[in-house]
Amino acid sequence: MNVYDSERMADLLRPHGYRAVEAAENADLIILNTCHIREKAAEKVYSELGRLKQLKEAGNAAGRNVKIVVAGCVAQAEGAEIKSRAPQVDMVFGPQSYHHLPEYLARSSRLLDEAVETEFDVEEKFDSLDNAIAPRTVTGPAAYVTIQEGCDKFCTFCVVPYTRGAEVSRTADEIVNEVRLLSQQGVREITLLGQNVNAWMGPAPRGETWKLGDLCRHLALIDGIDRIRFTTSHPRDMDQGLIDAFADEKKLMPYLHLPVQSGSDKVLKAMNRGHTAAEYLDIINAVRKARPDIAISGDFIVGFPDESDADFEQTLKLVEEIEYASAYSFKYSRRPGTPGAGMPKQVAETQKDSRLARLQAVLEAQKTRFNQSQIGQTLPILFEKTGRHDGQLIGRTPYLQSVHAKAPESMIGSIELVYIKDATPNALSGVLQKDSEAVA
């Protein structure tokens, strides 16, 4: 979502004469768009601001007027603290306020409290971005589209409900218009984004309410759009309409990222996830029934307060049962202001380390197996960019795996059949089907 927000900031600033540069050294305006999800996020921002202070001083000494803006969720969480700890910062914007950036930059002088904006007015932000003030400009055939922001779930380990606010959906009309515009610029694959993307809902033309499955089907009707993905989903919002869309909407790619976090019901309850391990498994089984080849991805946290060895074994059992195509796994770390941070029976770091190592070994083996299962298959690959080697392009399979193949640059933006010859845990490699036939 920060990638999308950064692109939108560039879109907002372009009509005011700004253009992107490759290195911060050359910029008159430096925007640090921050994420608060990982540990020590604020410390990393302050350390980066120390480096940027030197750039600003050097730029100003050379007669430029360099400005530094901190945006994103660390800006939201820290607010005015950033300006007092790092006076080199000119402006601080939360993730729901960045649409005001051009207006603030246009003012020649401002007071400290005017330059810190962390209000939650997501509808106003969506409106501002949609009012053709900031038409989207994209460079590749795949693009993100934010359709929903915020979260009402309040998992006890997570800061998102505090930094991004309550769940708000963009209207279907706004989303359809943006995707149409993207398709006119050559985009063939869209990834719909939201903190709880499958909580998306909106009024439909005949007064009924659309959910994410309906939206995907509608977007699939747009000429030029061949692939639709969405992330990140919550198990509680996986409805039958969305599962059915996996069965019969072929443009909806066979990939589902559905975090579970733990396989222990005791831990899931303490995390306030609102579902059990069995309910999660039922959803995965239903999705697999609808789309047997679907690649399942997940998120895991080990060492949540009071997680016992037996709880952790249940996580491993669930992982073994599901067989993931990919996954993200982390050690629990306290986030100030969240209920988990104050819970008793915090798990020792050494314990977390050994559990994470065991979990990751299993997940890595599953990912390798999934990638190797593609060897010998011919898959449609959307080529997105050039690779590191001459004549090489990089693209994606329907299952979101990265693929390298020899192909002409003119194929960037097209979907080509590639015969998969090799696989590592992180990528596949292959040859264009027509080349493989020529060799045969």
Q: Choose between 69 and 268: whose C-beta lies nearer to ligand SF4.
A: 268
Instruction: Tell me the one-letter amino acid at 340.
Output: G
- Report the residue from 36, 56, 99, 234 that binds ligand SF4 according to the rule CB under 6 A: 234
Q: Is residue 77 near ligand SF4 by the rule CB under 6 A?
A: no
Instruction: Tell me the one-letter amino acid at 147.
Output: I
Q: Choose between 36 and 83: whose C-beta lies nearer to ligand SF4.
A: 36
Which backbone phi and psi does 371 adopt, to 5 degrees? -60, -40
Q: Is residue 8 near ligand SF4 by the rule CB under 6 A?
A: no
Q: Choose between 48 and 239: whose C-beta lies nearer to ligand SF4.
A: 239
Q: How far is the CB of 310 from ligand SF4 (least distance, A)?
A: 24
Site string for ligand SF4, 177-216 (x = CB under 6 A): ------------------xx--------------------
- Report the residue from 154, 321, 336, 377 that binds ligand SF4 according to the rule CB under 6 A: 154
Count of residues that bind ligand SF4 according to CB under 6 A: 10
| Residue tagged 């789309």 (tokens) | 291
Q: Is residue 303 near ligand SF4 by the rule CB under 6 A?
A: no
Whether the CB-CB separation of 427 and 404 falls below 8 Å is answered with: yes
Instruction: Categorise residue 401: left if φ over 0, alpha if ψ from -120 to 50, beta otherwise.
Output: beta
Instruction: Tell me the one-letter amino acid at 57.
Output: E
Whether the CB-CB separation of 235 and 286 falls below 8 Å is answered with: no
3-class DSSP state of 219: helix
| Residue tagged 């990919």 (tokens) | 326
Q: Is residue 257 near ligand SF4 by the rule CB under 6 A?
A: no
Q: How far is the CB of 391 from ligand SF4 (least distance, A)?
A: 42
Q: Is residue 148 near ligand SF4 by the rule CB under 6 A?
A: no
Q: Which stretch binds ligand SF4 (CB under 6 A): 79-87, 148-156, 302-310, 365-373?
A: 148-156
- Report the residue from 59, 161, 194, 303 that binds ligand SF4 according to the rule CB under 6 A: 161
Q: Which stretch binds ligand SF4 (CB under 6 A): 157-165, 247-255, 288-296, 421-429?
A: 157-165
- Report the residue from 41, 160, 243, 301 that binds ligand SF4 according to the rule CB under 6 A: 160
Nearest residue to 257 (alpha-carbon basis) of 297, 306, 300, 209: 297
Bridge-based pairing of strands 326-331 and 378-386 is unpaired
Up-side HSE of residue 283: CA atoms within 13 Å toward CB? 23
Q: Choose between 7 and 167: whose C-beta lies nearer to ligand SF4.
A: 167
Q: Is residue 158 near ligand SF4 by the rule CB under 6 A?
A: yes
Distance CA 210, CA 203 (A): 6
- Report the residue from 41, 49, 70, 155 that binds ligand SF4 according to the rule CB under 6 A: 155
Instruction: Categorise residue 274: left if φ over 0, alpha if ψ from -120 to 50, beta otherwise.
Output: left
Q: How far is the CB of 93 from ligand SF4 (least distance, A)?
A: 20
Q: Choose between 3 and 247: whose C-beta lies nearer to ligand SF4.
A: 3
Q: How far is the CB of 253 from ligand SF4 (least distance, A)?
A: 22
Q: Is residue 396 near ligand SF4 by the rule CB under 6 A?
A: no
3-state secondary structure 131-199: CCCCCCCCCCCEEEEECEECCCCCCCCCCHHHHCCCCEECCHHHHHHHHHHHHHCCCCEEEEECCCHHH
Q: Is residue 153 near ligand SF4 by the rule CB under 6 A?
A: yes
- Report the residue from 151, 225, 287, 394 that binds ligand SF4 according to the rule CB under 6 A: 151
Q: Choose between 229 and 234: whose C-beta lies nearer to ligand SF4.
A: 234
Q: Choose between 128 and 261: whose C-beta lies nearer to ligand SF4.
A: 261
Nearest residue to 435 (alpha-carbon basis) of 423, 413, 419, 421: 419
Q: Which residues contact 277 (CB under 8 A, 6 or more apart)?
A: 260, 262, 263, 264, 265, 268, 314, 318
Which spans of this chain sit near ligand SF4 (rule: CB under 6 A)?
151, 153-155, 158, 160-161, 195-196, 234
